[in-house]
Structure 1
């Protein structure tokens, strides 16, 4: 595998490129040089042989002319001289030379066995016809390349004979082969040197690249400590500098990314709203702590599920919220082991990725239970105030109309109508007074003027104020103050208002010959604990949670007939809270009611409610 990777490496590719370039260049040069040398030596060889043939044709012309003009025996002697000349020329030129007369008969030759024979070669026949350029290159039976040259002898139109030469070209081709071998050897040496230089030069390129690749692998594995060695100022050196800079930035990126993740996780964890994030197909991938609390689910059992299953809302409906103008809905969630339910406002927001469309959904869950309760209380408050004012006003109007219609002329009837009208007016005054009092308490406009007060005296005075009603109903009242409870820094008038309200309610809802107990003691937290307890009709358990709400009545008809406005307990709670205390009510239907409130043993003066 390592060998395969080496042959696939850039270094090997560069070496191959260098070698191929040199090989192609040497091949082109070698072919050109070989062809040029071959042409040159062949032309030189043919030119040399043609010159010899031309010289020999001029030399043998007188001999052939003398042979044709006379039959003198001297002519034969001249052929002897000619044979010597031809033999000497053969020893120089290494070729077979033939002197042929006009009849085609060989009169002189370097090969004695061919003498007196007739030469019928086409080149000879063409030469005897007077054609000058007669040459041919061929390969004989032994594979030897030879050239044949034949030239006519004579001047003008008279042809005296011909000179015929057959020369071997093997020496020329041997020389060319030697040159070719030299070229091949040079090419191989050049290729070897090129390969060595290619390895050395490519290493200067590939080694930095290998080091950068090694560092890139280390970065991918999370190791950012090492740096790339920069060995030059060329493009690879600049690449090394850039890579080191990038690695330093990447080294900072994980910490920054982790910091951002921690910030985001902290924000999501401590948000008052629940957050649910999904992927592109609606599966839950993020669920913060508040969302788990609202939905009453565990994260392990929720991740990977569809958001429609978690929220119990069809996926088509969720998509409509995402695409539509209205992206919020109100969801009621039943709480386990509790009669109440949560009201949750869910806002859906799509997550878009550039070029890819919808990539997920963000659902923000807001617990609006308190807001809904507040809104419901506001509506009920407005309705109750309207009802409480309308009833006496209607009564007053009806009685005034009766008086206007003539009842005023009857003294006894008019007196009763006026008494009822006065009673309803006082009821309205009490209602408006209580509302103004609550308004001042809510707006912090009422000041607490504290002074030291004897607790036992305060409770005795409360009993004295209701003594007439107690005797009339034959209700017994018992006051118990622990010895360690003496004085307390409070706003006496406002605490008297609280006690008056609680004792008044106890008298109203306790039957004749009943009993009421007033007690004061120190609590475990070293606060003053005052208790008003009766054995009256009690309060149903379902009404206990709302007993301190404004205008809330357990028995509305009876409470209204007794002159109550439904604001007494609300005012008592606000006064106790303004003193820094708490108020609590326990009751059981048919057994009686116990109201207990605490007051701090120490407090400052002049505090605003």
Structure 2
């Protein structure tokens, strides 16, 4: 065990504090006890000496101050009193006369003191009649003694003194034994205290260690830790709080993971691209849609500068640094050669204390939107142009009629015929536009039924037989075996065929040929083709041939009375039936238009 580490633990601190408290308490108790015991023993020892000295002074008073023949007898009596009756172990008793001369002593080794004067202070005080005389002394053998002196009074006069010098060795030996017993008890108490301290500290620190271990496991992500609650004390309350914390953390983590998964799912499945950058404009997050738009890998852009990633000019960085919301349009070239328009909207992220902390860039593919907007503008321009031309003609001829041409028998009817033709042209244009509008809004009700294909194609040829005879155009009809009927709205499909035949006749020279063909294709569909050997269409115009008001040769088409909406209407009608229409053409060789129809009741709108 590493001792320095151990002494820094709570367990060691508790043991040390507990032992120190017991040690200090025992020391205080010991000091007080020893001091009180010493005072008591010393007081009792002195009191005993005082009492013996007082009794001896009373008895000695009968034998002091005697003169003559009885003086020797009195001295013998004093010797008997000192040596037998009042002998004290380790003490010396002296009887002094009024001058302080030693008459007798209880210590044989000090027999030579007899006849000499005792000049100690306590003796002088006693000879003066003072009763309380005592002092400590250390003799030549380094023995501590207690000295007591009492005056001997007879007939009111001080006739001598009693001097007692008692050794205190036994008293101090007793004190040392008491100190030894106390120290032994102190050591035993400290040992027991240390053992009890270890047990007590273990009972306190063991739950704390277990709590620390489980808290470490929680910090590492294991939120299923539970502390056993062994009581309702502070440790038990701490265990309850820990268990409550882990359950709340587990709930919070589950909720956070759920929200994170939701956010990741939203970002992944968003139709818009999202790029997140930090305050240094380095990319930290990009969803799948953004990577598809920019043709980059998500993993390859982490940490890359967002300005470099989006190929933005330097002036955009200055705007981005200002932390203002703004948008810009990017042109992205695909490997196939197409150009995509991407609107990028930058939204700064501000934190109250740190200012600009990041940027969110939202990428929207506005290619179709821009194309739609361009088509809308072109559509409005085309409608305006198509209406302006006949209106201008009508206005001009009307003004001419008002100016007198109406009275002219030759010009009047001719001008009125022109006005009528232009009016019919506008009516056809408005009718086609309304028809397209109903098809776009799904308001055109299709009355579908099973219709014979051969019968329908023959009727179409009959309707245009007069115009074909005028241009010497030869029609041909080919029906594949097994092609009998199709599921369609006969009137609508007749309009499609009328538009296709009308276009074929316009652009097929005299002596040409128009071929009608019906064949079966996959998925229960039949394909009907109208093929001519006319002037054809350039390849560059094929992609836009079904656009509204689009004409390959605008001047020639207007002169032939076309509105530029026929193929658009045909496409919408075929789509409403659940089919598709395509056009294939070679310049100078002819054009083939093919559309498909279902053979059974399926698909389309307005069944």
Asked if Structure 1 and Structure 2 have the same fold, meaning a TM-score greater than 0.5 normalized by the shorter chain, the answer is yes
**In the TM superposition, what are the counterparts of 1:55-454 in structure 2 within 5 Å?**
55-61=55-61, 63-66=63-66, 72=68, 74-88=70-84, 91-110=87-106, 111-128=110-127, 132-154=131-153, 160-219=159-218, 228-232=227-231, 234-237=233-236, 239-240=238-239, 243=242, 261-278=260-277, 282-313=281-312, 314=316, 316-318=318-320, 320=322, 324=324, 326=325, 330-344=329-343, 346=345, 348=347, 350=349, 361-454=359-452
Partner of 2:19: 19
Partner of 2:577: 579
Q: Does 1:498 align with 2:500?
A: no
Assess if the C-alpha contact under 8 Å between 2:527 and 2:595 holds in 1: yes
Count of aligned pairs between the two proteins: 601
Partner of 1:570: 568
How far has the Cα of 1:51 moved from its partner?
A: 2.8
- Larger mean CA deviation between 18-27 and 36-45 belongs to 18-27
Partner of 1:485: 483
How far has the Cα of 1:598 moved from its partner?
A: 1.1
Q: 1:91 to 1:393 in 2, by over 3 A?
A: same
After TM superposition, the score normalised by the length of structure 1 is 0.85
RMSD across aligned positions (CA): 3.7
Partners in 1 of 2:3 and 2:509 — Cα distance? Answer: 108
Partner SS state of residue 338, structure 2: coil
After TM superposition, the score normalised by the length of structure 2 is 0.85
How far has the Cα of 1:294 moved from its partner?
A: 2.2
Unaligned runs of 5+ in 2: none
How far has the Cα of 1:497 moved from its partner?
A: 1.5
Partners in 2 of 1:408 and 1:365 — Cα distance? Answer: 64
Assess if the C-alpha contact under 8 Å between 2:429 and 2:563 holds in 1: yes
Assess if the C-alpha contact under 8 Å between 2:147 and 2:165 holds in 1: yes
How far has the Cα of 1:399 moved from its partner?
A: 2.2
Partners in 2 of 1:599 and 1:101 — Cα distance? Answer: 163
Assess if the C-alpha contact under 8 Å between 2:479 and 2:518 holds in 1: yes
Partners in 2 of 1:315 and 1:143 — Cα distance? Answer: 102
- Larger mean CA deviation between 228-237 and 375-384 belongs to 228-237
Partners in 2 of 1:102 and 1:589 — Cα distance? Answer: 171
Q: 1:307 to 1:89 in 2, by over 3 A?
A: farther
Assess if the C-alpha contact under 8 Å between 1:106 and 1:114 holds in 2: yes
Deviations 1:213-260 (A, max 9, x none): 444455555667786555445554455566556656766776666555
- Larger mean CA deviation between 468-477 and 108-117 belongs to 468-477
Partners in 2 of 1:423 and 1:367 — Cα distance? Answer: 45
How far has the Cα of 1:408 moved from its partner?
A: 3.4
Q: 1:284 to 1:149 in 2, by over 3 A?
A: same
Assess if the C-alpha contact under 8 Å between 2:329 and 2:344 holds in 1: yes
How far has the Cα of 1:429 moved from its partner?
A: 1.0
How far has the Cα of 1:576 moved from its partner?
A: 0.5
How far has the Cα of 1:179 moved from its partner?
A: 1.4
Partners in 1 of 2:561 and 2:551 — Cα distance? Answer: 12
Partners in 2 of 1:102 and 1:591 — Cα distance? Answer: 175
How far has the Cα of 1:36 moved from its partner?
A: 0.8
- Larger mean CA deviation between 90-99 and 124-133 belongs to 124-133
Partners in 2 of 1:544 and 1:255 — Cα distance? Answer: 57
Partner of 1:553: 551
How far has the Cα of 1:129 moved from its partner?
A: 5.0
How far has the Cα of 1:433 moved from its partner?
A: 0.9
Deviations 1:408-429 (A, max 9, x none): 3444344443333222212111
Assess if the C-alpha contact under 8 Å between 1:327 and 1:349 holds in 2: no
How far has the Cα of 1:95 moved from its partner?
A: 1.7
Partners in 2 of 1:140 and 1:565 — Cα distance? Answer: 151
- Larger mean CA deviation between 540-549 and 244-253 belongs to 244-253
Partner SS state of residue 97, structure 1: strand
Partners in 2 of 1:103 and 1:541 — Cα distance? Answer: 163
Assess if the C-alpha contact under 8 Å between 1:449 and 1:605 holds in 2: no
Partners in 1 of 2:102 and 2:16 — Cα distance? Answer: 63
Partners in 2 of 1:47 and 1:6 — Cα distance? Answer: 56
Partner SS state of residue 88, structure 2: helix
Q: 1:100 to 1:257 in 2, by over 3 A?
A: same
